[in-house]
Amino acid sequence: MAISEMNREEPCRSSPGNGPRALILFGAPGSGKGTQARLLSEALGIPHISTGDMLREHIQAGDAIGKGVSGTMGAGGLVSDQLVSQLVKERLAQGDCERGFILDGYPRTRTQAETLDHMLAERGVEPVVIPLIVDYNIVIARLSGRSQCVSCGALYNVTSKPSKAAGVCDLDGGKLIVRDDDRESVVRERLDAYQRKTKPWIEYFHQTGRRLEEIDASQLTPAELVARIQVTIERP
């Protein structure tokens, strides 16, 4: 769906007079975090910085960084704090981050959080930390009902977006399969892991006096959610 169609609540662009903003997004698998980061980036006119995307770009480019991280990433581990913080530091130094940025997937360790604190202090930016809260039953229904075309990658969902013929892609007739990581037991595991890893962050940001704005993302459309986040961050 085009962004223009999704933005039915018409969130306003932030005015250039606003100070720079740093948004730190957290969200469980299936919370819509990636979609939100992209929509917010469009609505606020500030870049979406995903450390996962940056690392994948290096892997695709086949450069030294990519070669160095591909094994760790393939095994689901975390790459070194030093490397990932250096990538973020270099990215934040680019001109398009002057008005602000949206961080997605960083920080992920305490060292990264402390490094980020320094980077933000140097820039004089006070972040808003936004954990997207989702009802696990809704996410499990969303993700475990999902299937994907083996040839073109189109996504379907048994309840919200079924294909016309069961198991067959509407676009190219390809076979629809359920990805291994979308099976219910795996989805539950991913959600539990997220819960375990994220709670300490909420605590960390709380203790360091950061502004925390938990938003219930369970029942909202992408456009409603982006509008809700905008209203929340505009509040003094």
Residues in contact with ligand AMP by CB under 6 A are: 51-52, 55, 72-73, 76-79, 84, 105-106, 108, 112
Active-site residue flag, 142: no
CA distance 110 to 208: 12
| SS3 call for 146 | strand
* CB nearer to ligand AMP: pick between 59 and 158: 59
Question: Where do we find the tokens 């130094």?
Answer: 93
Residue 15 has a CB neighbour count (10 Å cut-off) of 7
* CB nearer to ligand AMP: pick between 54 and 168: 54
- The token duo for 15 is 């005015």
Of 187, 162, 189, which Cα lies nearest the Cα of 176? Answer: 162
Active-site residue flag, 110: no
| SS3 call for 74 | helix
> Which residue among 110, 179, 183, 211 is the active-site one?
179
> Which residue among 142, 146, 210, 228 is the active-site one?
146
To ligand AMP, the closest distance from the beta carbon of 84 in angstroms equals 4
CA distance 84 to 105: 10
To ligand AMP, the closest distance from the beta carbon of 51 in angstroms equals 3
Active-site residue flag, 108: yes
To ligand AMP, the closest distance from the beta carbon of 74 in angstroms equals 8
Q: Which residues are tagged catalytic?
A: 33, 108, 146, 179, 190
